[in-house]
Chain A
Amino acid sequence: MIHSLFLINSSGDIFLEKHWKSVVSRSVCDYFFEAQERATEAENVPPVIPTPHHYLLSVYRHKIFFVAVIQTEVPPLFVIEFLHRVVDTFQDYFGVCSEPVIKDNVVVVYEVLEEMLDNGFPLATESNILKELIKPPTILRTVVNTITGSTNVGDQLPTGQLSVVPWRRTGVKYTNNEAYFDVIEEIDAIIDKSGSTITAEIQGVIDACVKLTGMPDLTLSFMNPRLLDDVSFHPCVRFKRWESERILSFIPPDGNFRLLSYHVSAQNLVAIPVYVKHSISFRDSSSLGRFEITVGPKQTMGKTIEGVIVTSQMPKGVLNMSLTPSQGTHTFDPVTKMLSWDVGKINPQKLPSLKGTMSLQAGASKPDENPTINLQFKIQQLAISGLKVNRLDMYGEKYKPFKGIKYMTKAGKFQVRT
């Protein structure tokens, strides 16, 4: 399956290579560089590149290309999914996944990769298991190891590997037993010029941080489970129980994990919590354009909208912008033509606005398109779909855990066409 893996940074250096079968020369990456050149932008590099003898499958994350080399037919998503899992694992191990961090921990990275694949086929990808096999580097452990001569490598097969709950390690112990669940919903929407919604849907996830002793068996029930149109589960969730009772029943992994992601479809009416008033005009003859944006709340269920950031990719013809915000700060990068306005909180009494002029290239014709406006925002303590957790119960252990639920709504891919 996966033959080799190359890690390539944005300047085109191969800074790590790993082979699971016979060695594939790194010159195979030349095909990748060719494609990269053709694509101009990193995100446009095709994820699958055929070469005469190999196929290169790549993902681009954290400004690093993870290029897998394969030789024979394999479902491309299999490889892509795996590469993403590799990135997630690195993130899990080192906190961030960046070139310097990988270089600093190259040995751990190598050991982890060795465990993740055997002969190109995934072997252990659950982070709970990997962490038992190869302990993540921490300062404390490094010190201890130097003194005692112990190692980062476990010498026993992680018990999870063989059990029916491979995602959970055994012998977990905490003095404070706590389980936190974050219900985070993102609104993906396209709003047209006139302010009407073209499409809007809600994508939600429930992220959990569970630190419970022993083998707890949890059930989580919702007040209104019918809202969830389409769900995907962490493997720990018992599917049958969900099918029959709409209850999430699971033995959680230890630590942070994504319990569930769900989708509330476009068929349901989605409340759009903000509106954007805009007037952006270019005139054909003049070298000045007018620019004005106002952001305001609507349908927020009485909550404040925070963390509002407005970004917009201006047309190439715009040389500079002189704008004054009523609140927050704004920046315009004349090279990338990216306008960004950090608004902060929206005060319904005094709506934030950004006004001013754009100076256009002299003699250039008026751009065809007005820029689209991308919006980010956050609303605490609200799940915009109305989803509510009913209760969380624990079985199998005797202690009383501390339970917490947090709701949040965020903008996903929220776009306003102008």
Chain B
Amino acid sequence: MSAAPAYGEDKGGSAGPGEPEYGHDPASGGIFSSDYKRHDDLKEMLDTNKDSLKLEAMKRIVAMIARGKNASDLFPAVVKNVACKNIEVKKLVYVYLVRYAEEQQDLALLSISTFQRGLKDPNQLIRASALRVLSSIRVPIIVPIMMLAIKEAASDMSPYVRKTAAHAIPKLYSLDSDQKDQLIEVIEKLLADKTTLVAGSVVMAFEEVCPERIDLIHKNYRKLCNLLIDVEEWGQVVIISMLTRYARTQFLSPTQNESLLEENPEKAFYGSEEDEAKGPGSEEAATTALPARKPYVMDPDHRLLLRNTKPLLQSRSAAVVMAVAQLYFHLAPKAEVGVIAKALVRLLRSHSEVQYVVLQNVATMSIKRRGMFEPYLKSFYIRSTDPTQIKILKLEVLTNLANETNIPTVLREFQTYIRSMDKDFVAATIQAIGRCATNIGRVRDTCLNGLVQLLSNRDELVVAESVVVIKKLLQMQPAQHGEIIKHLAKLTDNIQVPMARASILWLIGEYCEHVPKIAPDVLRKMAKSFTAEEDIVKLQVINLAAKLYLTNSKQTKLLTQYVLSLAKYDQNYDIRDRARFTRQLIVPSEQGGALSRHAKKLFLAPKPAPVLESSFKDRDHFQLGSLSHLLNAKATGYQELPDWPEEAPDPSVRNVEVPEWTKCSNREKRKEKEKPFYSDSEGESGPTESADSDPGSESASDSKSSDQSGSEESSSESESEDQEEEKGESSESEQSEEEGGKSKMKKRKKVAEGQGSSSDEGSGPSSSSSESERTSETEGEQMEPASWRKKTPPSGKSAPVAKEISLLDLEDFTPPSVQPVSPSTIVSTSLATDLEGLTLTDSPLVPSLLSPVSGVGRQELLHRVAGEGLAVDYTFSRQPFSGDPHMVSVHIHFSNSSDTPIKGLHVGTPKLPAGISIQEFPEIESLAPGESVTAVMGINFCDSTQAANFQLCTQTRQFYVSIQPPVGELMAPVFMSENDFKKEQGKLTGMSEVTEKLTLPDTCRSDHIVVQKVTTIANLGRVPCGASDEYRFAGRTLTSGSLVLLTLDARPTGAAQLTINSEKMVIGTMLVKDVVQALTQ
């Protein structure tokens, strides 16, 4: 509104008393008139209580920043307003803060707490913008806070916040590259995100932080391919270019069998591309190629990529079209590359900058794949209104496209261009004609004649350029063209352009036998004007003199000597040098006659004709569409496009893992179940829903008797369906509504069938409540199949079939409680999750769990079915590990339920995140059927909740397993007095303190229960405490030994406040969540 006066103020410097708008304001009026110090008025305005004044001040400050004026001295005054209620003021303060925080780091820290508060705001926009600003403040000291904030936001329920988290990753990385490992973890997690909103941003982060970790993509490859069309344009560009690189490392070259043809591009394109363009050579090419062709089968994933990117050629964004074009150029079989030509030609209608880039790429492509653009030849015709740089690029393309058949039209076009007023363009045209003449023998004479005619052009530049080109052409067949050389010789009188003069002299010298009479005369003239010539011409004069001396020494001896003596005293050392060198060679002296005898051979050796090549040749070793390609030089951060592998890497890595035992189950049957499964989870509000969902949640939660394999299968199922589902996602949304009803009916029938329905039930909890969906979504995604397995309670030995039925019977008794952990990975289309994000915007933040809640009870490591009879559970024993005090001791219980003994149980090559180490248990020689044995192993989790993945090997098999510790297990109790506790707590305030308010349910108001719950969740020791409603616990983390202090202040009313003080903020926050979870349930 009043940006204009703000501007006026700037222009007039700070002496702006004539601000009518504030004249009426008594507070500022006085200051304005006596304004000597800079920006005092602004400071005053920022200090008032009026939002309107603050806003005005901020607007003026932002205007200053925009103009590049320094406003850093206002920092203290501005930063105070960071918590201002007015959202516009707040935003402008953010703008200011991001701009100047780097310069005033100490003061910037004052604002941090506001953002930390903002991170917990129920409004997702505020959460996101708090994270945005927090991560944009380039102050190294807050790196840990940023890290924590990013990790939290990465599991936020709002996809928008998760997107912001992905954006924050490269920011933090550029601030502190030591965080790479942790950031990669976050990236890995976000890569698994299924919303289109996040996909583009996280791939961007991936490209900036860890482009070399191609292994992270495997599991997400198919998902990315399928989501691609729904991602916003900018994300599409980044994803496509990343996938191009990925495909180059993972698939075989589709053109490998055509490599024979590749060597001969002239023929290759005829043979493989344009049927109508078939020339006489094509038949041969095809026949020679055919016998060599081995069957090549394209990897279905490779095909998937090509298929899913193709529609994007129709994008309105030039960047996307270009990205797809380069993908096709680098990855598609020759026969398919053609499709991109049309789209690229379309881009030529766009802004001239776009044209410029596109033409550069077309120029490169047209060298390799000429046939592709031939039908569009006319689209590259040049208009007089095109900017010169565009004209020259179009010319390049036209030249590349010229061939035997179209050369007459192309040359006719060129003829028009030569008369253009734009002389740079004319020069380029002459070069282009020269190239056409060298490439296409048939028109060489025509071109040469045309160029010779140009020699009489009035414009010197044109003539000069023609001379240079003619010189090159003549070298190819000098004998026939004595006349032209004579003609050129005459030109030396008029033409002044050094390069042209030099070219003529060289020609005369080289072919002096063809013009024996004229040559000495030219030398005479040149000798006369020698001193006035340019260096390049002088060198050629010496050259000419030498050659003439060797062929016709009678006439030219004196002239040569004259030229050489002139050159001897030239200012330029190159010329003096050349003169000395030449004299030694041609004039036989007393001593060194050996070389001069061969002087003629040296000077008049036959020289190969120059090849006129496109400057775009071989540029395609850069990834097309990249900056490096455009500049023809490697730009910083450019990722080389790898060569195709010789042998295809294992394609199975892209399979989203399906546990082994489901392979035997009938695939057909599962497919059939798909539809109901999905439409169910989408049509959440359906009336039959609750009935369906209960058994599901029950099976997941407390019923020990519920069938293990049932819930497991469902989750594996959902994973495999996942992929299939995504393919059809676009149509899904439309259908889902009407189908919802139908499918529910179907589903009921299935439930009644009993056994076969297990997967449906498993899906129950996922659809029953969006809350559980949230948590399980983020969780399920980050975990390997082995790790979710352990979350399900250990199974009894009962037969699955029988329990299946009891499960149904139980449905009325199960509490409808929301389980934090759902056994199934949630399947949702991008649509579904997006919509959920939408509907949930107003609901309060659900504390999302980073780790499964677990007490000290047994957890499953390997199910007996998966382990082929070997069942493995583990418990955190909470005893100090004997070998290393930093290790968490884990008791592993093996039991053999097969009927053969299992031999040689040991831990195989662990694949561990940085810092984590394992102390293996001693090998168990043999485990007889029915026997159980317990081993102890130690794991140093390095104070993080990262899962330790390792292999469990028997003599015959290997199982991938992983142990993820609940955060409470990462510490050991310490015993301290109340005073010590308070003292330590005093040291750990501020950023190290995490506080959460909660309400204790009636069931856990007694001391005993509270203490029990806390100690179950965390391995802490109770600290004696005077007050009755306060509980204190203390512990140290195992690896670093940092103190973890937990205080619970419980009021009799049930309201309570939980405080955790720990240097390890990550642990603190996670622990708070776990404890709150445990206490409130």
Q: Which residues of A are at the interface with B, using a C-beta cutoff of 8 A?
A: 1, 14-19, 21-23, 26, 41, 43-44, 46-48, 50, 55, 58-61, 70-78, 80-84, 103-111, 114, 118-119, 121-123, 125, 137, 142, 145-146, 149, 151-153, 155-157, 159, 161-164, 166, 188, 190, 192, 198-199, 201, 203, 229-235, 238-240, 243, 258, 261, 263, 265-267, 313, 315-316, 365, 367-369, 372, 374, 413, 415, 417
Contacts and interface: CB of A to CB of B under 8 A. Distances in A.
B381 A190 contact: yes
B342 interface: yes
B62 A110 contact: yes
A16 B379 contact: no
A78 B66 contact: no
Nearest to A71: B636
A23 B96 CA distance: 12
A238 B62 contact: no
Interface stretch (B277-285, B416-424, B565-573, B1033-1041): B416-424
Interface in B590-639: 625-628, 630-631, 633, 635-639
Contacts of B230: 164
Given A43-B352, A107-B3, A73 B51 contact: no
Given A163-B835, A368-B419, A119 B170 contact: yes
B669 interface: no
B357 A76 contact: yes
B362 to A, nearest CB: 13
A161 B198 CA distance: 12
B733 A164 contact: yes
B343 interface: yes
Contacts of B319: 75, 77-78, 80-82
Nearest to B64: A106
Nearest to B343: A230
B167, B168, B633 — most chain A CB neighbours (10 Å): B167
A263 to B, nearest CB: 5
A47 B357 contact: yes
B7 A123 contact: no
A75 B241 contact: yes
Contacts of A73: 626-628, 635-639
B167 A266 contact: no
For B99, B174, B351, B419, the residue with the greatest tally of chain A CB atoms inside 10 Å of its CB is B351
Contacts of B501: none
A151 B343 contact: no
Contacts of B86: 149, 151
A153 B167 contact: no
B311 interface: yes
B55 A151 contact: yes
Contact of B381 (A44, A105, A199): A199
Nearest to B729: A164
B775 interface: no
A261 B323 CA distance: 19
A119 B314 contact: no
B834 A162 contact: yes
Contact of B835 (A121, A164, A369): A164
- Interface hub of B132, B168, B635 (most chain A Cβ within 10 A): B635
B451 to A, nearest CB: 15
Interface string B23-64: 000000000000000000000000000011001000100110
B421 A233 contact: no
A190 B409 CA distance: 14
Contact of A78 (B170, B237, B343): B237
A60 B168 CA distance: 31
Contacts of A166: 232
B387 A47 contact: no
A413 B7 contact: no
B830 interface: yes
A294 B437 CA distance: 39
Tell me the interface secondary structure of chain B in the complex. helix
26 contacts: A1-B204, A16-B67, A17-B66, A18-B66, A59-B353, A72-B635, A73-B627, A73-B637, A75-B627, A77-B358, A81-B233, A105-B3, A109-B66, A121-B234, A125-B232, A149-B52, A149-B86, A157-B128, A157-B160, A190-B383, A198-B378, A231-B314, A243-B311, A367-B421, A369-B420, A372-B384
B898 interface: no
A119 B635 contact: no
Interface centre among B65, B241, B316, B388 (most CB of A within 10 A): B316
A235 B320 CA distance: 12
A50 B314 contact: no
B322 interface: yes
A75 B237 contact: yes
A59 B52 contact: no
Contact of A77 (B52, B232, B625, B834): B625
Contact of A413 (B1, B345, B383, B837): B383
A74 to B, nearest CB: 6
B317 interface: yes
Nearest to A315: B421
Contacts of A17: 66-68
Contacts of A417: 416
A229 B375 CA distance: 13
Contacts of A369: 419-421
Contact of A266 (B99, B323, B378, B627): B378
A72 B208 CA distance: 10
Contact of B91 (A59, A103, A114, A261): A114
A376 to B, nearest CB: 12
B409 to A, nearest CB: 9
Interface in B326-377: 342-343, 345-346, 349, 351-354, 356-358, 375-376
B88 A368 contact: no
A84 B838 contact: no
Contacts of A239: 229, 311, 314
A316 B389 contact: no
B128 to A, nearest CB: 7
Nearest to A83: B353
B1 A137 contact: yes
B459 interface: yes
Given A146-B1, A161-B160, A374 B378 contact: no
A137 B3 CA distance: 11
Interface in B49-99: 51-52, 55, 59, 62-63, 65-68, 86-88, 91-92, 94-95, 99
A151 B66 CA distance: 20
B315 interface: yes
A22 B102 contact: yes
B349 A203 contact: yes
A155 to B, nearest CB: 5
Contact of A199 (B51, B234, B379, B730): B379
Given A118-B167, A164-B831, A107 B59 contact: yes
Nearest to B842: A156
Nearest to B126: A155
Interface in B152-178: 158-160, 164, 167-168, 170-171, 174
Contact of A121 (B62, B67, B201, B837): B201
B117 to A, nearest CB: 16
Contacts of A161: 160, 197
B87 A151 contact: yes
A15 B67 contact: yes
Contacts of A61: 351
Contact of B234 (A22, A58, A122): A122
B897 interface: no
Given A76-B627, A263-B345, 13 more contacts: A44-B387, A76-B625, A77-B625, A80-B353, A84-B351, A84-B354, A114-B95, A149-B86, A151-B55, A155-B87, A159-B838, A163-B835, A240-B730
B1032 interface: no
Given A153-B87, A198-B378, A44 B627 contact: no
A88 to B, nearest CB: 11
B378 A199 contact: yes
Interface in B407-450: 413, 416, 419-421
A164 B834 contact: yes
